[in-house]
């Protein structure tokens, strides 16, 4: 029996869009992002509880990103032949384990190791999500399915992290991580019940990493990913000093809420049109981000301009992960998971690079340089899209 036939047997397409299964994937993304970001919102409490400085607690986020960066590609290649649902459940279950260790550990070193392995599980999970979602639906609905599966990330950033921070303040950071473990166990039951199983890649169909990278469209999508995410994280990492020239440094919560809400609107809009206008939506996203950066550069001391820029930025960025992952899935075909692992790696490089580049610019030229750096990076992204680099119109 060929691979397509086995898919038809294991996952009959009875419904155009299997919402329960796709929302289970989105919930996995939600827990992943919340696990990653919670220490940033609970720095003082975790610093006191672990008996280390806040700077050292901040390294819990760094080790998480490092785990994702190092593990995504090798783990994905190592498990290409595994059946998909057991592998996904292992990745989700890993979060129950590492969050339990974080909740009960009183030793900073043990907590640091747990956070590294949280990143490892995250790298594997993010490499699986887009390919899993695309295999659950008919080809003409793949973009919409991926957009829905990606919904967890912006929800976690806009609503989950503030809620997790508030919860940590009310009941303590250890209880917060224990609650995360409980939610993860519930998600395991939900995912096992609602998600179909798929075969792994047959040995005869597995392409080497270099051959996957050489497939038409893969390199341009990865380049757009790196330049866009690098630009995004220059702004997002240093959003607090960015607000100071306008005198709204104390309004960071409101500013991030505007960004998060517009990101959700973006995901809804992208989900409606992604399968018909993938390339156009990606171009619009880049153009809107460039316009937001230009406005920011021209009037960084204006409160209204800051809020308009952040709203446009959120609208540009929210649907971007779904756009890029859909483009990569369409370009990679049967090698989608391997290609997605590259995207996870490149994405984390963009995050790390944004923090480093933004810090250097802040030190030497101030926040006024951010907008122009973003414009230059988005110009590079648009340059990669001048040819037919994205599947779709």
What digits encode the pLDDT tens for the residues 202-232?
Answer: 776 777 778 888 898 899 999 999 999 999 9
What digits encode the pLDDT tens for the residues 253-296?
Answer: 788 888 888 988 998 899 889 988 999 999 999 999 999 999 99
What digits encode the pLDDT tens for the residues 347-367?
Answer: 888 887 888 888 889 888 998
Mean pLDDT of 80-104: 95
> Quick check: 47 pLDDT over 80?
yes
CATH assignment, 12-205: 1.20.1250.20
3-state SS of the chain is: CCHHHHHHHHCCCCCCCCHHHHHHHHHHHHHHHHHHHHHHHCHHHHHHHHCCCHHHHHHHHHHHHHHHHHHHHHHHHHCCCCCHHHHHHHHHHHHHHHHHHHHHCCCHHHHHHHHHHHHHHHHHHHHHHHHHHHHCCCHHHHHHHHHHHCCHHHHHHHHHHHHHHHHHHHHCHHHHHHHHHHHHHHHHHHHHHHCCCCCCCCHHHCCCHHHHHCCCCHHHHHHHHHHHHHHHHHHHHCHHHHCHHHCCHHHHHHHHHHHHHHHHHHHHHHHHHCCCCHHHHHHHHHHHHHHHHHHHHHCCCCHHHHHHHHHHHHHHHCCHHHHHHHHHHHHHHHHHHHHHHHHHHHHHHHHHHHHHHHHHHHHHCCHHHHHHHHHHHHHHHHHHCCCCCCCCC
pLDDT higher at 29 or 14: 29
CATH fold match for the domains 12-205 and 209-384: yes
> Quick check: 389 pLDDT over 70?
no
> Quick check: 391 pLDDT over 70?
no
> Quick check: 309 pLDDT over 90?
yes
Q: Give 209-384's CATH code, choosing from 3.40.50.300, 3.40.50.150, 3.40.50.11540, 1.20.1250.20.
A: 1.20.1250.20
- For the chain, the average pLDDT equals 87
What digits encode the pLDDT tens for the residues 101-119?
Answer: 999 999 999 999 999 999 9
- 1 band by pLDDT with thresholds 50, 70 and 90: very low
**What pLDDT sits at residue 390?**
59
Residue spans per domain, the chain? 12-205, 209-384
């Amino acid at each position: 029996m060929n691979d397509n036939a086995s898919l038809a047997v294991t996952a009959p397409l009875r419904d155009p869009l299997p919402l329960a299964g796709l929302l289970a994937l989105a919930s996995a993304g939600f827990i992943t992002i919340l696990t990653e970001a919670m220490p940033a919102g609970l720095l003082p409490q975790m610093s006191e509880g672990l008996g280390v400085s806040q700077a050292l607690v901040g390294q819990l986020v760094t080790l998480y990103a490092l785990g994702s960066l190092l593990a995504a590609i090798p783990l994905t290649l190592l498990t290409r032949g595994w059946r998909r649902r057991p592998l996904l459940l292992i990745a989700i279950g890993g979060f129950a384990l590492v969050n339990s260790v974080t909740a009960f550990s009183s030793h900073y070193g043990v907590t640091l190791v747990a956070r590294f392995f949280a990143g490892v599980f995250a790298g594997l999970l993010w490499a699986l999500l887009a390919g899993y979602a695309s295999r659950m639906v008919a080809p003409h609905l793949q973009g919409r399915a991926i957009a829905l599966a990606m919904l967890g990330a912006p929800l976690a950033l806009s609503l989950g992290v503030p809620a997790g921070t508030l919860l940590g303040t009310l009941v303590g950071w250890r209880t917060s991580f224990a609650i995360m473990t409980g939610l993860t166990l519930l998600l395991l039951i939900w995912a096992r019940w609602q998600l179909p199983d798929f075969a792994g890649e047959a040995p005869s169909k597995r392409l080497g990493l270099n051959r996957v990278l050489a497939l038409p469209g893969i390199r341009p999508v990865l380049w757009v990913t790196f330049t866009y995410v690098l630009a995004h994280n220059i702004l997002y990492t240093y959003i607090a000093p960015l607000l100071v020239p306008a005198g709204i440094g104390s309004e960071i919560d409101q500013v991030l809420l505007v960004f998060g809400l517009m990101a959700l609107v973006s995901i809804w809009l992208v989900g409606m049109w992604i399968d018909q206008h993938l390339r156009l939506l990606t171009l619009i996203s880049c153009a809107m981000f460039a316009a937001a950066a230009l406005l920011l550069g021209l009037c960084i001391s204006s409160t209204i301009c800051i809020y308009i820029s952040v709203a446009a930025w959120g609208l540009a960025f929210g649907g971007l992960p779904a756009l890029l992952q859909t483009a990569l899935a369409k370009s990679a075909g049967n090698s989608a998971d391997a290609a997605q692992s590259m995207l996870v790696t490149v994405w984390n490089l963009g995050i790390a690079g944004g923090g480093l580049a933004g810090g250097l610019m802040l030190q030497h030229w101030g926040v006024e340089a951010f907008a122009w750096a973003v414009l230059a990076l988005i110009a590079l992204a648009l340059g990669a899209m001048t040819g037919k680099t994205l599947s779709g119109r």
